[in-house]
Chains A and B, each alone.
Chain A
């Protein structure tokens, strides 16, 4: 009998313990719901509840930004009357604000870093914007051709070196940066990955066939210097027709012949992006059309193909990539002459080069060597 009492007594204890343990989860103070499902996203699109990219820019981008006085962004933020570094915060809204678009970048080759570009076709015209996200290899989750929908209220839109982007205010305290005195301060910064992920929903699977390329001549855009006009062009996926590499680099606005030096030590070597001696800026190489109009192909020295030799100048054709207007030199305002232009093309990989010498296409093998005699098989 005593034993039974003992068992009963302890059973109660055990049951009580188990119940407490099982019921341990309590309701948290849940933050504002950011996630939406794919179905919800599709419904929003159908119902036209997303801003177009241009509507988004027009609604929220101001000339000076609203986050703090432009002087507090950085010394070099102003170029004449133009503000190259701004932040406009977008207050959290009771009615969520969404934009959507299809990813046009791929960071596998290393020429895009912590950046996505998306495009949206509105009335047959391409609209595009950069998304600045603090995650390496972000293209692994948001792949080329993937349509995504992003909740943007609570984020910011800003210019970094004049390039409009979805971003967040971020205090750059890199005191070891070159000319740190100009750079330390608030600027359009990257969105923490967890925040971006919570706000972004993929729709369907990637479909590269739905990507749209603005087919352009160099002269279509290289004269544009007005920042408001330029913001419509920045981040677009474009195809520049009938150009060739000249084997030149951009020497402060003057195309200058590349050298035959070692790209590890010679910043002007005849490759896409030789060393910058750890200055970490993209390297520019000149492409030119038949009328000698030229523009730049911009490559990060961290790109896998950075040390590939430039295509020979007798190979002509199309260059596909993301159009950009990178302009961070406000303090020393010395804009290039109109024929030089601040515009550049960032290719996603060497597959974006579609060049032909009349007999063969210019192709690379996986090690960056010219691979002669192959017919170009890609679209």
Chain B
């Protein structure tokens, strides 16, 4: 917001209007005289608002001839307030209104985008919560939070990124498979994202039906860009260290063409300083952006756009608190906290990271705007992009786990078995005899130490020392040892599988999009907008060998299936030869010897079509605005695979009635082939699942007066599952989550279960309904708003995978029926303090929590049974071992882990007309919770019996462990959601952790920024800006993480009633939660020269 109020008494260029109405017209331009599109122009006293067109022009009609306060706002520019005296029945022309670049906002945008890029697609376990990329409008609340709260991973109203929409020139760029926008596609290209239209939530929009979070349309037509050159340099101590950028724009040439281009380079070498932000991370990115525009007159224009940013970047990991505590000992300087990264190590004395992400999203867009006449506008677009995303990781075969922070390598592993049922170290008195721990034998025992780790204390201390001293081989990847192991293997077994390799997991997606957007204003006060969006997508997933690390080849079999091969044999009457098939990842190419860049493991695609048609009516009257809209979405999902997986084959053999679940149309042919698969097509196609989803929305604004408004929005929709959530184990087989089958055969299931067809049909889709109510005010000294919102989500779907210690194998788990509620209040106010200062206060208090339990279906990735026949419920008519466990996940009442739910900021801004900027922001965050692990909240764990009636082997009700809390009368205690209360330390297994620090002072983050814009001759300028985040170096601020799914267990030796018995371990510290911490003090310095 511009900090000065410019009072302008206009010299009105009076033009007598033909229809004698009072109008206000004008054109918004930048300092470089570039038209500003999508800016909002508000007449405060009459409560009328409009937006500028492609030429930066606006026009307001049927106005009252009074003194008026005009607020002009555009993203990336300082807002302006103009006082005018409107003359009746005349066209009041403001002429060109020049807006100053909001240097601070531009700067922050860069920092926020940088955060978002880091978060994206990091598919190891769970990634950090996404930052809210790209700041929004000039609304006080949104303008402040997008930057100030991004470091805390704030998500607007607790919505995930899939509830935000991102468009480029009207074309949807949210991935159909993952549901979200890939910000790294435009990494570093700040000019590609500079101009945009932003719509908050459900509000009426001219380019989209909208969603629950904000919708952004990036405007990339060449005429948006100021003619001339712009070059910039940046330095930071974040994940890249230096950046350089150059932009050129031709402006609109006489022949109707305009061109603009940007090149951006960002780089950091490997950081070889332990404890420094970004240790072990390298970063290299080159981005290009080119846009050309051709105009035919003023009513037609064509834009051709292409961009891409090939990027390679190293990653860091979430860690347990123990790991942080140990490694923080090494470097106790201010910046040395919480920066340990186990993903790297030394190879020949040089840093090498095992997790290198490669991204490149070459994109091409053609967009055509046609102002058919004054009342009709059509925008058509076509786009294509191929998103290449891959991440490397170490994998190993018949060798020790190479991860330095593997739980068995940490000192805490030596506490395992030494903790009693009350959470205390056991007394190592032998068999209860009265041994006092004094030196015995020849006196070599440690002084009086009879509690503690399982190992002698001196060795334990040696291990601790290795960690606290950040020993290269113990705390980093020992690349040389991995090479040595492969070299040794080559000598011993030259045709065998390498012991260690670096694999590359590819998650590519190619998408083609078309978009039509039509707008009609022929009816007074009414704007009709309609759109058609169509998208064809293909997610392409496979693994390749990235580096054999000196090995000769990698043999493509599944080590988990190989390990469990005996057990698999007992489940089905297969021959040993048949069983050998199970471990094959591709039966058509068994025991494939794979070398560099060869595909292995899995090679499947998810094909998706997504089509939306929507319409919206927007009425504007003097005192009231109203809009309503309707949207229908058709989508389908199909999986294909180029590999015939042995576990899919096995499961099909095992369940012949459901063979098509695993092998789809190919099932009969595969099972009959008896090893001869030559007649099968190369690409095996799964079933196509079709979905139709409606959405409706309505909203209005009541203008109490020109300065006070009440606004409401409401929306309801159903949302089909995303491609990523549709399949139980897409790497292995075609089995979709159960709700999709019930949806596919809704009539059958409705009859079967006595439900309705509608219930079954929409049972696969998530259902969402909600609304918000806002009071906003706008006075010369103070402006702001208060909003209350309430949204319900029903039947969400989620997929998880983890190592299960009860089954002792990797399992996949699909969750359906996830219901939740997001409600809260947002408030913001900006107060002018004299000429130069503004004080802004912003607060958001939310309550985002699950409102019911969910259903989990768990199955082993290698196809083994997860429970014996004897575990089946007494009334279960099925026989044999259980391969898919069904259970309730007790999540009712838990908080949704999408960032802090209490956020507050106080910001003091300084602006001097000589273009000095400065601000300091104090932020407070609270009610931030860790994501729960469904595996730790299973009903069966708490009751001993799963929702499907089957018996759980080892639960909290096991009398041996005394885990269930009981009242004085000896009755089990329950929380208010009906979940049994657990005694310490078992309570630690299943509780949802708070991420905020116990010390209130550690919940604050302080940011400052300063900047200066210097205008030179000939419209040249230099801008300099410095932001410093976390100025006070709060090293206790957790931004996210996850609860590990693995639940520690102990197995009783021998059998009880013919069964192996598992007991839940009291060692809650064996698989503790992993966290991300906010960076310590970090800065970003940007210098830019325009000429």
* A interface residues with partner B (beta carbon < 8 Å): 3, 6-7, 10, 13-14, 17-18, 20-26, 28-32, 35, 64-69, 71-72, 75, 89, 91-92, 107-108, 134-141, 143-146, 154-156, 168-174, 176-178, 181, 184-186, 189, 191-195, 197-198, 202, 205-208, 264, 277-280, 304, 306-307, 366-369
- Give A35 to B346 CA distance when docked, in angstroms: 15
Give the residue name and chain of the B residue nearest to A13 (CB): B1026
Contact check, A25 vs B430: say whether CB atoms are below 8 A apart.
no
Contact check, B471 vs A198: say whether CB atoms are below 8 A apart.
yes
- Give A366 to B575 CA distance when docked, in angstroms: 13
- 28 residue pairs bridging A and B, Cβ less than 8 Å apart: A3-B1012, A10-B1024, A17-B1083, A23-B333, A24-B276, A24-B333, A24-B334, A29-B468, A31-B462, A31-B466, A32-B462, A66-B444, A67-B456, A141-B484, A143-B488, A170-B454, A172-B454, A173-B426, A176-B1050, A186-B430, A194-B473, A194-B474, A195-B462, A197-B478, A198-B474, A208-B492, A278-B1052, A279-B1053
Residues of chain B contacted by A6 (CB below 8 angstroms): 1012, 1024
Within the complex, which residue of B444, B469, B565 is in contact with A28, where a contact is CB–CB below 8 Å?
A: B469
Contact check, A134 vs B398: say whether CB atoms are below 8 A apart.
no
Within the complex, which residue of A31, A146, A174, A185 is in contact with B417, where a contact is CB–CB below 8 Å?
A: A174
CB distance from A199 to the nearest CB of B (A): 10
Residues of chain B contacted by A35 (CB below 8 angstroms): 473
- Give A20 to B336 CA distance when docked, in angstroms: 10
Contact check, B442 vs A169: say whether CB atoms are below 8 A apart.
no
| Known A14-B1085, A169-B455; contact A21-B492, beta-carbon cutoff 8 A | no
Contact check, A143 vs B431: say whether CB atoms are below 8 A apart.
no
Give the residue name and chain of the A residue nearest to B397 (CB): A140
CB distance from A369 to the nearest CB of B (A): 6
Interface residues of B in 492-533 (CB under 8 A from A): 492, 499-500
Interface residues of B in 1019-1057 (CB under 8 A from A): 1024, 1026, 1050-1055
Within the complex, which residue of B336, B428, B456 is in contact with A24, where a contact is CB–CB below 8 Å?
A: B336
Contact with A along B294-319 (1 / 0, CB 8 A): 00000000000000000000000000
Q: How large is the interface on B (under 10, 10 to 19, 20 to 34, 35 or more residues)?
A: 35 or more
Contact check, B576 vs A22: say whether CB atoms are below 8 A apart.
no
- Give A141 to B396 CA distance when docked, in angstroms: 11
Residues of chain B contacted by A138 (CB below 8 angstroms): 400
Contact check, B430 vs A24: say whether CB atoms are below 8 A apart.
no
5 additional A-B residue pairs with CB within 8 Å, beyond A6-B1012, A306-B566:
A24-B273, A66-B442, A141-B485, A171-B455, A195-B462
- Give A127 to B199 CA distance when docked, in angstroms: 79
Residues of chain B contacted by A189 (CB below 8 angstroms): 454-455
Within the complex, which residue of A140, A177, A185, A279 is in contact with B399, where a contact is CB–CB below 8 Å?
A: A140
Residues of chain B contacted by A89 (CB below 8 angstroms): 444, 456
| Known A66-B442, A278-B1053; contact A21-B277, beta-carbon cutoff 8 A | yes
- Give A143 to B493 CA distance when docked, in angstroms: 10
Give me the 3 closest cross-chain CB pairs, A-B, nearest first.
Answer: A140-B399, A367-B576, A31-B465
Contact check, A171 vs B462: say whether CB atoms are below 8 A apart.
no
Within the complex, which residue of B334, B409, B576 is in contact with A193, where a contact is CB–CB below 8 Å?
A: B409
Interface of A is mostly: loop
Contact check, B468 vs A28: say whether CB atoms are below 8 A apart.
yes
Interface centre among A13, A21, A29, A91 (most CB of B within 10 A): A21
Contact check, A192 vs B414: say whether CB atoms are below 8 A apart.
yes
Contact check, B430 vs A71: say whether CB atoms are below 8 A apart.
yes
Contact check, B474 vs A137: say whether CB atoms are below 8 A apart.
no
Residues of chain B contacted by A144 (CB below 8 angstroms): 492
Contact check, A75 vs B473: say whether CB atoms are below 8 A apart.
no
Residues of chain B contacted by A91 (CB below 8 angstroms): 444
CB distance from B607 to the nearest CB of A (A): 37
| Known A20-B334, A72-B440, A198-B466; contact A176-B1051, beta-carbon cutoff 8 A | yes
Residues of chain B contacted by A197 (CB below 8 angstroms): 473-474, 478, 481
CB distance from A77 to the nearest CB of B (A): 11
- Give A66 to B441 CA distance when docked, in angstroms: 6
Contact check, B469 vs A29: say whether CB atoms are below 8 A apart.
yes
| Known A31-B466, A154-B458, A307-B566; contact A21-B335, beta-carbon cutoff 8 A | yes
Contact check, A3 vs B1014: say whether CB atoms are below 8 A apart.
yes
Contact check, B431 vs A184: say whether CB atoms are below 8 A apart.
yes
B630 at the interface (CB under 8 A from A): no
Within the complex, which residue of A7, A67, A277 is in contact with B1024, where a contact is CB–CB below 8 Å?
A: A7
| Known A6-B1024, A143-B492, A192-B455; contact A178-B1054, beta-carbon cutoff 8 A | yes
- Give A264 to B1063 CA distance when docked, in angstroms: 23
Residues of chain A contacted by B1012 (CB below 8 angstroms): 3, 6
B34 at the interface (CB under 8 A from A): no
- Give A64 to B444 CA distance when docked, in angstroms: 14
B994 at the interface (CB under 8 A from A): no
Contact check, B1083 vs A14: say whether CB atoms are below 8 A apart.
yes
Give the residue name and chain of the A residue nearest to B576 (CB): A367
Residues of chain A contacted by B336 (CB below 8 angstroms): 24-26
CB distance from B534 to the nearest CB of A (A): 49
Contact check, A139 vs B459: say whether CB atoms are below 8 A apart.
no
B489 at the interface (CB under 8 A from A): yes
Residues of chain B contacted by A154 (CB below 8 angstroms): 458-459, 462
- Give A280 to B474 CA distance when docked, in angstroms: 31
Give the residue name and chain of the B residue nearest to A155 (CB): B459
Contact check, A72 vs B435: say whether CB atoms are below 8 A apart.
yes
Contact with A along B471-492 (1 / 0, CB 8 A): 1011000100100110111011
- Give A28 to B329 CA distance when docked, in angstroms: 8
CB distance from B331 to the nearest CB of A (A): 6
Contact check, A277 vs B430: say whether CB atoms are below 8 A apart.
no
CB distance from A257 to the nearest CB of B (A): 23
B1010 at the interface (CB under 8 A from A): yes
Contact check, B1054 vs A139: say whether CB atoms are below 8 A apart.
no
Residues of chain A contacted by B683 (CB below 8 angstroms): none
- Give A24 to B398 CA distance when docked, in angstroms: 39
Contact check, B1054 vs A277: say whether CB atoms are below 8 A apart.
yes
Give the residue name and chain of the B residue nearest to A31 (CB): B465
CB distance from B557 to the nearest CB of A (A): 11
B98 at the interface (CB under 8 A from A): no
B330 at the interface (CB under 8 A from A): yes
CB distance from A368 to the nearest CB of B (A): 6
Contact check, B473 vs A278: say whether CB atoms are below 8 A apart.
no
Give the residue name and chain of the A residue nearest to B490 (CB): A205
Contact check, A140 vs B492: say whether CB atoms are below 8 A apart.
no
Within the complex, which residue of A18, A20, A136, A279 is in contact with B333, where a contact is CB–CB below 8 Å?
A: A20
Contact check, A143 vs B485: say whether CB atoms are below 8 A apart.
yes
- Give A200 to B31 CA distance when docked, in angstroms: 69
Interface residues of B in 431-470 (CB under 8 A from A): 431, 435, 440-442, 444-445, 454-456, 458-459, 462-463, 465-466, 468-470
| Known A3-B1012, A206-B488, A264-B570; contact A28-B445, beta-carbon cutoff 8 A | no
- Give A233 to B711 CA distance when docked, in angstroms: 89
